[in-house]
Amino acid sequence: MGGVQQVRTREDAVRLAQWLESADRGVPVVLISPSRYGAESFLDVDRLEAEASASAEIYLLASVAAVWALRRTYPPARHLYAGSARVVPVGGFVAEVTRLHVAGDGIDRVQVARELLDDVRRCSPLAVS
């Protein structure tokens, strides 16, 4: 799977929305929105990459345009905002399985990363370390 993939443009976001709905996708996807202060996230993206990239794809929405395009083309992403993140299970979006996680500042980053990793574990046919 690899590392964190950057979604920078509207076109990238539309392709991502199509991939999220694809029957060919066999792993969960972690969606991370930028903080309201820029493209950086309050989430511990390095930890997510280290611990989940073998069993999930990780996408960082790196621009406001990408966030808005994904929210328009993939309705389950409509609540992604201001550094929030969520896991999209294989087979689509299941609200009961995944929650929207928000790190309000750098202090929350470890807890939110732990919660996202737990969601990846629940949604993945592959084990997360």
The model's pLDDT over 81-120, given as tens digits with 9 standing for 90+, comes to 777 888 988 876 555 456 888 876 666 778 888 889 999 9
Residue 10 phi, psi dihedral angles, 5° rounding: -60, -40
Q: Tens of pLDDT along 24-56?
A: 888 999 999 877 665 556 677 888 889 998 889
Find the domain containing 28 and state its range: 4-123
pLDDT at residue 41, rounded to an integer = 62
**Residue 129 maps to a domain:** no
Q: Tens of pLDDT along 54-82?
A: 889 999 998 889 989 998 998 877 777 77
pLDDT at residue 16, rounded to an integer = 95
**Residue 118 maps to a domain:** yes
Distances (CA, A) of 37 to 67, 75, 99: 14, 24, 23
**Residue 91 maps to a domain:** yes
Q: Which helix (H) or strand (E) holds 123?
A: helix 109-123
Q: Which residue has the higher pLDDT, 49 or 127?
A: 49
pLDDT at residue 106, rounded to an integer = 61
Read off the CATH number of the domain in which 26 is found.
3.40.30
- Quote the tokens at residue 103: 């790190």
Model's pTM, two decimal places? 0.86
- Across residues 11-23, what is the average pLDDT? 93
**Residue 88 maps to a domain:** yes
- Quote the tokens at residue 27: 């792993």
In sequence order, the 6+-apart residues with CB closer than 8 A to the CB of 114 are none
Number of domains in the chain: 1
**Residue 92 maps to a domain:** yes
Reference 18, options 62, 77, 64; nearest CA is 77
CA–CA gap between residue 88 and residue 56 (Å, rounded): 10
Structural contact between residues 60 and 4, judged by C-beta atoms closer than 8 angstroms: yes
**Residue 35 maps to a domain:** yes
Q: Which residue has the higher pLDDT, 104 or 1?
A: 104
Residue 2 phi, psi dihedral angles, 5° rounding: 110, -165
**Residue 128 maps to a domain:** no
